[in-house]
């Protein structure tokens, strides 16, 4: 089966007006402005299969939002080819929008003073969903997204997490083939992130809906995505499963030291940093991710040995790090 999304040497360049300091430059720029070009997507190629949950990841400015804008058809590409569900998202936008659901961050189409179900009714009318399809779909989505009594509340009374679940359910009313979510987890607490993630998984399992999601919350990507595309400076650094990403960066190990009450964890952290280990402190625990490509056992053993001699430890563990840790380490 052909992939539902196919991108070949996809390119997007922004023209940026240069403003040099000084009155002379400002006056000259009025007559002959200085432009430079910046490639936000530098000829990237990838496929996404029908029924995948694909996570787009990358640091700020990596090109995730630009890619989502090309995928949903609100911006033209400058080069390469892009086919989604057999259509060109930008050139065939009128047909295309019927096939996709899009939620950008916290911009929902729920109307503030109306109850959620009233906003859903308006959406039904705009997208021409038949009454019978709407009733069936509403029942399915109420269960999948745990909407229950939220449906009868005015949108302004919902929490951020509840708003996001309702906003996503709303765009699913017209049963799109593909759902695009740009940073849906911003501002959500961990419980809301988990609830949204589980709802998306249920949706995907029940209807084989392809989902493309960008998030800085790597835990959500690791939990729900079947494919991870990692962007850096407009290029693809990694494209594969979350599991493969961990395997690829499998040479990393997490050293986790647990300290007794009153221990000087900061001093221990400084010591590890001095050995080139990236560390985080969480309560009585100090974690360091070690790049131990060659001689993994020896490097970990030497660090543990030095730590036990210098500091009073309650326990220590050598573990495989999460996707989040290895990616963050790879960025450094
Ligand atoms: N409208 C624009 N005009 C000029 N440059 C832009 C524009 N939009 C984005 N860029 C530049 O293109 C690059 C990619 O930006 P993009 O917003 O796609 O990244 P991102 O990965 O979504 O980042 P973030 O996580 O911060 O949202 C950046 O260097 C950015 O400064």
Protein residue whose Cα sits closest to atom 5 of ligand 1: 14
What is d(CA 242, CA 221) in angstroms, rounded to the nearest whole number?
8
CA–centroid distance, residue 216 to ligand 1 (Å): 15
What is d(CA 264, CA 61) in angstroms, rounded to the nearest whole number?
38
Q: Which of 38, 39, 61, 217 to mutate to test the pocket of ligand 1 (most atoms within 8 A of CB)?
A: 61
Check pocket membership of 63 for ligand 1, CB cut-off 6 A. Answer: yes
Query: What's the chain's average pLDDT?
Result: 88
**CATH match of 5-246 with 3.40.50.300:** yes
pLDDT at site 244: 79
Q: Is the pLDDT of residue 180 over 60?
A: yes
Half-sphere exposure of 234 (CA within 13 A, CB side): 13
Nearest alpha carbon to residue 292 among 280, 303, 300: 300
Kind and range of the H or E run holding 55: strand 53-58
pLDDT digits (tens, 9 = 90+) for 198-246: 999 999 999 999 999 998 777 788 889 999 998 888 999 889 987 777 6
Q: Which of 63, 68, 181, 229 to mutate to test the pocket of ligand 1 (most atoms within 8 A of CB)?
A: 63
Q: Calculate ∠ Cα 69-73-76, nearest 5°.
A: 80
Q: Where are the alpha helices (DSSP H) in 14-79?
A: 23-31, 64-72
Q: Could you tell me the fold of the domain covering 251-331?
A: Alpha-Beta Plaits (3.30.70)
What is d(CA 262, CA 137) in angstroms, rounded to the nearest whole number?
57
Instruction: Express as a percent the part of the chain with pLDDT over 90.
Output: 55
Q: Is the pLDDT of residue 59 over 80?
A: no
Atom of ligand 1 at shortest range from CA of 62:
21
pLDDT at site 66: 94
Protein residue whose Cα sits closest to atom 7 of ligand 1: 14
What is d(CA 143, CA 161) in angstroms, rounded to the nearest whole number?
16
Q: Which of 11, 12, 14 to mutate to test the pocket of ligand 1 (most atoms within 8 A of CB)?
A: 14
What is d(CA 320, CA 213) in angstroms, rounded to the nearest whole number?
26
Extents of the domains making up the chain: 5-246, 251-331
Check pocket membership of 71 for ligand 1, CB cut-off 6 A. Answer: no
pLDDT digits (tens, 9 = 90+) for 70-117: 999 999 999 999 999 999 999 999 999 989 999 998 778 899 899 999
pLDDT digits (tens, 9 = 90+) for 264-323: 999 999 998 888 888 889 899 999 888 766 666 788 888 889 899 988 899 999 887 776
Kind and range of the H or E run holding 79: strand 79-84
| Two domains, one topology: 5-246 and 251-331 | no
Atom of ligand 1 at shortest range from CA of 234:
14
Pick from 45-54, 57-66, 74-83, 153-162: least confident: 57-66
3-state SS assignment for residue 289: strand
Q: Where are the alpha helices (DSSP H) in 75-146?
A: 93-96, 116-127, 131-144
pLDDT at site 109: 83
pLDDT at site 1: 64
What confidence tier does 328 reach under pLDDT thresholds 50, 70, 90? low
Q: Is the pLDDT of residue 136 over 80?
A: yes
Protein residue whose Cα sits closest to atom 12 of ligand 1: 40
Query: Length of the chain, please?
Result: 332
Check pocket membership of 79 for ligand 1, CB cut-off 6 A. Answer: no
Q: How far is CA 217 from CA 72, 116, 123, 233, 264, in A?
A: 22, 27, 29, 19, 31
Q: Is the pLDDT of residue 24 over 90?
A: no
What confidence tier does 129 reach under pLDDT thresholds 50, 70, 90? very high
What is d(CA 204, CA 175) in angstroms, rounded to the nearest whole number?
12
CA–centroid distance, residue 68 to ligand 1 (Å): 11
What is d(CA 100, CA 73) in angstroms, rounded to the nearest whole number?
10
- 21-31 average pLDDT score: 74
CA–centroid distance, residue 97 to ligand 1 (Å): 23
Helix, strand, coil percent content, the chain, rounded in steps of 5 = 40, 30, 30
């Amino acid at each position: 089966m052909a992939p539902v999304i196919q991108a070949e040497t996809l390119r997007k360049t922004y023209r940026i007006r240069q403003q040099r300091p000084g009155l002379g430059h400002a006056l000259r720029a009025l007559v002959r402005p200085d432009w430079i070009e910046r490639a936000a997507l530098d000829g990237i190629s990838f496929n996404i299969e029908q029924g995948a949950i694909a996570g787009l990841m990358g640091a700020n400015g990596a090109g995730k939002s630009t890619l989502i804008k090309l995928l949903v058809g609100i911006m033209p590409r400058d080069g390469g080819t892009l086919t989604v569900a057999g259509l060109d998202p930008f050139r065939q936008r009128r047909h295309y929008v019927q096939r996709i659901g899009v939620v950008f961050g916290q911009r929902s189409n729920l109307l503030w003073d109306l109850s959620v179900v009233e906003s859903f009714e308006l959406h039904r009318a705009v997208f021409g969903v038949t009454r019978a399809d709407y009733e069936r779909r509403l029942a399915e989505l109420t269960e999948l997204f745990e909407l229950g009594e939220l449906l009868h509340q005015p949108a302004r009374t919902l929490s951020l997490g509840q708003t996001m679940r309702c906003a996503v359910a709303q765009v699913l009313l017209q049963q799109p083939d593909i759902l695009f979510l740009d940073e849906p987890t911003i501002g959500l607490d961990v419980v809301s992130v988990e609830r949204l993630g589980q709802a998306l998984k249920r949706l995907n399992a029940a209807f084989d809906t392809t989902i493309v999601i960008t998030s800085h919350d790597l835990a959500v990507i690791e939990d729900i995505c079947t494919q991870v595309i990692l962007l850096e400076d407009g290029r693809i650094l990694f494209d594969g499963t979350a599991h493969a990403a961990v395997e690829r960066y499998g040479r990393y190990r997490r050293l986790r030291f647990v300290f007794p009450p009153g221990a000087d964890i900061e001093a221990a952290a400084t010591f590890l940093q001095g050995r080139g280990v990236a560390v985080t402190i969480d309560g009585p625990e100090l974690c360091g991710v070690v790049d131990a490509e060659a001689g993994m056992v020896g490097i970990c053993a030497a660090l543990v040995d030095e730590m036990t001699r210098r500091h009073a430890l309650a326990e220590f563990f050598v573990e495989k790090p999460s996707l989040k840790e290895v990616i963050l380490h790879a960025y450094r």
